[in-house]
Structure formats: structure tokens, C-alpha cells
Chain A
Amino acid sequence: DVKVTQSSRYLVKRTGEKVFLECVQDMDHENMFWYRQDPGLGLRLIYFSYDVKMKEKGDIPEGYSVSREKKERFSLILESASTNQTSMYLCASDGRVGAFFGQGTRLTVV
């Protein structure tokens, strides 16, 4: 079974902090994604990566950056956290037969 692991289940951060969300997959997938999920808005793509050091902006990249130094690891960075970034963040890994999700990180920015 594919395993996608996110570093934290719950996080509380202060406004202005730099926040790192980590994601690791164990299936050698090329594609990895970061989504946020908010009530009524569904899953929105923030960034995705199709190879090491390769990334593309999704639909809502503002205020976020990403890093993919190794194939198995994809990090989401909130440069300066704001309250409107309070959300559920979901990492996914895609082996071209559908994406598999991590358990999610519920981030609260206070």
C-alpha cells in the first residue's frame, strides 16, 4: 500500500511565523501535490511537483512556496503565516492511477 505521511496532524502558529509542512511518500511517485481544504470550497491546489526540484503553481499559490530536494519529500512553506491560511492542508502523491493522500494537517494561525 502507498503510504503518504505528513509531519503533523495539528499545528497552531502565530501570525507572521514561517511555517513548514512536510510530506513523505514511500512509492517513488513522480508527482506530489499540496492542497488546502476549506468548508464549501472543496480541495484547492496550492502547488504541485512533477520531479525533484521541479514545481508548478496551482490555483492559489499566493503566500506559499514549496521545496522538493528529494523525490520522496515535498515541503510546503508559509512564508509569513496569516489568519486566512487557517485550514486543513492535504499532501498527495500520484502514481498516474490516482492520487493518495496523507492524513492531513489542520493548521490554525492565531
Chain B
Amino acid sequence: QKEVEQNSGPLSVPEGAIASLNCTYSDRGSQSFFWYRQYSGKSPELIMSIYSNGDKEDGRFTAQLNKASQYVSLLIRDSQPSDSATYLCAVNRSGGNKLVFGAGTILRVKS
């Protein structure tokens, strides 16, 4: 079992729709969770962090965390073609500062 699992996609959504990206993790002691966006040929860019159960909203982005289910998600409202990218979920391993990444989900927003 991979430490951080994501559906590779591609996930295709029409412009203006809600895109829902999901991530599960295996280390029950993990405390910090992050979402990164990576455009083709570029390095990952941090877009959201979440540390406690529930929702965290930042503009069109909402991160959701459920530690009991070991599940993190990212919702993108009013999706735009410029949101088309690979979205990486990252988790801090418990007991240390090592960041572990999922393989990423490709999102395609069609206009």
C-alpha cells in the first residue's frame, strides 16, 4: 500500500463546475496535509494546507480533512481552464518532518 494514494485521472470537468480531488494516506499519526498544483514543466506550488478535521476555505479552494477515515480532499469551485494541472497531495509523516507525496491527479477543465 502506498503511503499517499491519489487517482491519477485525468479528471475532466466543464468550466464553471466543481472539481473534486481525493487523497488517502496510510500513516494514522500524520498531522499536516498539503495540496500542491503543478503545471506541465513547472515545479509544484503550494495552494492549501490543513491540519485539523473539517473544512478550510481559501477563495475558490476548499480543503477537507477526515483523520478517522485518513482522507483529504480538495474542492475547486467555478473551475477555470487555468486550473488544468496536476494536483499533488502531500502528508507529513508522523514523528518527523518528511513530506510524502502522492503521484498526483491530472485535472482538465474544458471550456
Point out residues on A near B: beta carbons under 8 Å. Answer: 31, 33, 35, 40-43, 45, 48, 50, 56, 58, 90, 92, 94, 96-104
Contacts and interface: CB of A to CB of B under 8 A. Distances in A.
B99 A92 contact: yes
Interface of A is mostly: strand
Interface in B58-102: 88, 90, 96-102
Contacts of A45: 98-100
Contacts of B44: 43, 90, 101
A94 B97 contact: yes
B101 A42 contact: yes
B97 A48 contact: yes
B88 A42 contact: yes
A53 to B, nearest CB: 16
Contacts of B98: 45, 48, 56, 58
A42 B104 contact: yes
Nearest to B3: A59
B34 interface: yes
Contacts of A103: 42-43
Interface string B19-63: 000000000000000100000001111100100000000000000
A17 B88 CA distance: 33
